[in-house]
Chain A
Amino acid sequence: MVSLSCGLILLATVLTAGVALQRSFAAVEGYSVAEGDQLRVQDYIAMDCRRAVGGAVANNTLTLTIPTYYDANNNPVDPTHPAGGSIQYGAGTIPISYYQSGTRFIRQVNGVESAIATNVDSFTVTPQDLTSSVTCSVTFAPRFTTLANPGPINGTTVFSNTFLRNAVARQ
């Protein structure tokens, strides 16, 4: 009887510890995924802003245009510099848009959508002069919560302010 009781207590302790560890693991996992989402969104926007030759903001959508740097085989092309103009790669430009679609954060390249983050609560791109920098903020809903809804737990908002290098490049 005594040994059975001890065994049950030990088992209960192990189960409780296991559940606690799982909760801790879930929290860490949620944090890891959230960090990954945030870094990915910022890295994408930063990379495209830095190489953009133009930008526009409309309906909370950030649209950047980047040079047609690649040929049909995805190999880099040589630049040209026409008199009185700016550096050119290939013909035309490639539009890249960022916007929120439901809980997904979308990066659209030349009309082709791909989600680059999920669990997005809101996206705000601040209309800027677009000749120097772009400011964006993305709020992610909490991934780990004991409540049914986010409720009083705030989401995480990440800000990015990226210098548009080509907009201020010398010609």
Chain B
Amino acid sequence: MTALLTITLLTIICATSLYVTSQNANATTQTASWQQALAGAEGAVDQAMGTLNSQTWTGWYTAAKPLPTGKPNSVNPIPASGPPASGSYNYYFPSTLATSSPAGTADESGKTVSSWVTVDTAGLPIKSGYQEYRIRATGVVGAPGPARVSNQKLDNQLRKISLRMDRFTGSAVSTPQAARRIEVIATPVTNSQFPRAITMQNWLVMNGTGSIIDSFDSGSNLYSNNGQYIFSKHKSNGDVGLVLSSKGNNVSNLKDNAVYGSLQYSGPAVKKTSGVKGTVSSPFNTKLNPVSDPTATFTNYSSNIDNATVVASGTTATSPTRLKITSNNGTFSLQHNFTITGPTVPPGGTAQDTYLEIWVPGDYNVTGNALVTQGAKVHVTWYVDGSLSVAGNGYSNLSGLAANMSFLAVGSGSITLSGNGNFIGTFYGPLRDVSFTGNGALVGAVIGDNLTIGSNASIHYDEALGTGSSVTFSNYAYASWFEDNSDPARSMAY
């Protein structure tokens, strides 16, 4: 009798154990399926981004809106010939989905990760001449095991496994499946010459401890004070890119200064990066074309530059006024003032944007009390063959916009920014040794061979340099990312 009771008891215990173990196995496979489905959805997003960037719509199909809640039509689909118009959407799915169920059959893990993706305009605007798109990608994988909710009850709020009904369509499913859906907004990105705050062929060394590298957007009052940098509205896209982080004994060192952005580099690890607020990643590569002397026809400017005024009358960026400094052996060494202005505005008229290119065959040296003043509606590009030395207070860019003023440094040599004032503009000299010696700030961006910030100088990257009207399309990037984890039938949203 005792033996019988014991055996009965043990049998009950064993049966219970097996039941619980079975449930645990069920919960585990559902969890695994849930993770696998995300990989499928993300892969489909990549597929769509790749297609938008290549504009090769081979294998895609098109249909009229509205967007499908489930798998798009696979019966006699209409091939897409281009990007979707406003009243339609394009979709892509592997050919196997045309004949088989997306859900896997019972197995130790999801048998097949399937995915499909739609692309439509969603009423989004055109930016820089290119349409923004909504990408909606779904990954589906079978959830092996019986159609039974997880014994981990808390899992059921997160992992909305479709046991009997597809949670997106509400239709019945033949076998349990996990489905995850991601919605991404793809926005066109321009190939700006200045996509980040600092781009160097080699190292970046910061010697001070009070520098700030961050960003703002002069085109938005949300992120600027009427187009001017202010820390309270700064952003965190002050990125740094170093093609090779060291050269000889010069190893990049940020000295833990605040970098409100990300650091990308190739080569040895950059030292003291704890101040980098964004990501620190490697490798990094970009092509920086060196600057050559301009080949267009320039008018010689042989007058004394001190206290001179020049008029920029070119009305487009492609047909600017062009002046070549020939006085003082081509050196622009200013003692007093040099003013760049636009044409005289007739009474009742308004000033128009005008453009000027100045070629300095020698050195550019404007420091001390010397001052170059650039009119508010004038866009100036300087070509400097010799060494370039400018004080922050030595250049007054009245437009307040970095996009309106740029130094193009030809060949090798040096670029020095000194003083405690703010310099609004850009430096582009991929072969130049760049040094900032004062405690002022560069409001714009800099590209050089290497950069040494010897004091507490700051760099405030103007994001308008990357999005302005003068730059052209490069590729699509995501502007928004959202995973739809709702289950409307269960009144569950977030």
How far is it, in angstroms, between the C-alpha of A81 and the C-alpha of B188 when the chains are bound?
13
Contact B484–A76 (Cβ < 8 Å): yes
How far is it, in angstroms, between the C-alpha of A120 and the C-alpha of B330 when the chains are bound?
73
Contact B24–A29 (Cβ < 8 Å): yes
Given the contacts A69-B484, A74-B488, A132 and B24 also touching, CB distance less than 8 Å: no
Contact A50–B479 (Cβ < 8 Å): no
| A81 CB contact (under 8 Å) in B2, B27, B132, B158 | B132
Q: With both chains docked as a complex, state the minimum distance between the C-beta of A110 and any C-beta of chain B, in angstroms.
A: 7
In the complex, what residues of A have CB within 8 A of residue B35's CB? 43
How far is it, in angstroms, between the C-alpha of A160 and the C-alpha of B31 when the chains are bound?
17
In the complex, what residues of B have CB within 8 A of residue A43's CB? 34-35, 158-159
| A166 CB contact (under 8 Å) in B3, B279, B481, B493 | B481
**What is the size, in residues, of chain A's interface with B at 8 Å between Cβ atoms?**
61
CB under 8 Å from chain A, chain B span 451-494: 477-488, 491-494
Q: With both chains docked as a complex, state the minimum distance between the C-beta of A47 and any C-beta of chain B, in angstroms.
A: 6
Does A5 count as interface, using CB distance less than 8 angstroms? no
Which of B121-129, B293-301, B419-427 lies at the interface?
B121-129
In the complex, what residues of B have CB within 8 A of residue A94's CB? 494
Contact B483–A47 (Cβ < 8 Å): yes
| A67 CB contact (under 8 Å) in B7, B219, B482 | B482
Does B112 count as interface, using CB distance less than 8 angstroms? no
Q: With both chains docked as a complex, state the minimum distance between the C-beta of B169 and any C-beta of chain A, in angstroms.
A: 12
Interface secondary structure of B, over-half rule: mixed
Contact A73–B155 (Cβ < 8 Å): no
Does B398 count as interface, using CB distance less than 8 angstroms? no
Q: With both chains docked as a complex, state the minimum distance between the C-beta of A87 and any C-beta of chain B, in angstroms.
A: 4
Contact A165–B494 (Cβ < 8 Å): no
Which of B13-21, B102-110, B333-341, B403-411 lies at the interface?
B13-21
Given the contacts A40-B155, A40-B158, A43-B158, A79 and B236 also touching, CB distance less than 8 Å: no
Given the contacts A79-B122, A84-B222, A94-B494, A25 and B21 also touching, CB distance less than 8 Å: yes
How far is it, in angstroms, between the C-alpha of A11 and the C-alpha of B480 when the chains are bound?
66
Measured CB to CB, the nearest residue on chain B to A118 is B154
Given the contacts A74-B491, A170-B187, A69 and B482 also touching, CB distance less than 8 Å: yes
Interface centre among B3, B122, B219, B482 (most CB of A within 10 A): B482
In the complex, what residues of B have CB within 8 A of residue A138's CB? none
In the complex, what residues of A have CB within 8 A of residue B53's CB? none
Contact A22–B236 (Cβ < 8 Å): no
Contact B154–A40 (Cβ < 8 Å): yes
How far is it, in angstroms, between the C-alpha of A22 and the C-alpha of B10 when the chains are bound?
10
Contact A96–B494 (Cβ < 8 Å): yes
In the complex, what residues of A have CB within 8 A of residue B122's CB? 78-79
How far is it, in angstroms, between the C-alpha of A73 and the C-alpha of B260 when the chains are bound?
40
How far is it, in angstroms, between the C-alpha of A40 and the C-alpha of B485 when the chains are bound?
14
Which of A31-39, A55-63, A151-159 lies at the interface?
A31-39
Contact B125–A170 (Cβ < 8 Å): no
Q: With both chains docked as a complex, state the minimum distance between the C-beta of B5 and any C-beta of chain A, in angstroms.
A: 10
Does A148 count as interface, using CB distance less than 8 angstroms? no
Does A9 count as interface, using CB distance less than 8 angstroms? no
Q: With both chains docked as a complex, state the minimum distance between the C-beta of A148 and any C-beta of chain B, in angstroms.
A: 24
Contact A18–B488 (Cβ < 8 Å): no
Does B183 count as interface, using CB distance less than 8 angstroms? yes
Does B278 count as interface, using CB distance less than 8 angstroms? yes
Contact B478–A169 (Cβ < 8 Å): yes
Given the contacts A11-B2, A76-B183, A170-B187, A47 and B279 also touching, CB distance less than 8 Å: no
Give B contacts to A, CB under 8 Å.
2-3, 6-7, 10, 13-14, 17, 20-21, 24, 27-28, 31, 34-35, 122-125, 132, 134, 152, 154-155, 157-159, 183, 185, 187, 189, 217, 219-222, 236-237, 260, 262, 277-279, 477-488, 491-494
Jot down 12 A-B pairs with beta carbons below 8 A, ordered by A.
Answer: A11-B2, A36-B152, A40-B154, A43-B34, A66-B494, A67-B480, A74-B487, A79-B183, A84-B221, A86-B479, A128-B277, A132-B278
Q: Which 3 A-B pairs have the closest CB atoms?
A: A129-B277, A87-B480, A131-B236
Give A contacts to B, CB under 8 Å.
7, 11, 14-15, 18, 21-22, 25, 28-29, 32-33, 35-37, 39-40, 43-44, 47, 50-51, 66-67, 69-70, 73-76, 78-81, 83-87, 89, 94, 96, 109-110, 114-117, 128-129, 131-133, 163, 165-171
Given A25-B17, A44-B158, A79-B123: 9 more A-B contacts, CB < 8 Å = A36-B31, A66-B482, A76-B484, A115-B154, A165-B478, A168-B262, A168-B278, A170-B477, A170-B478
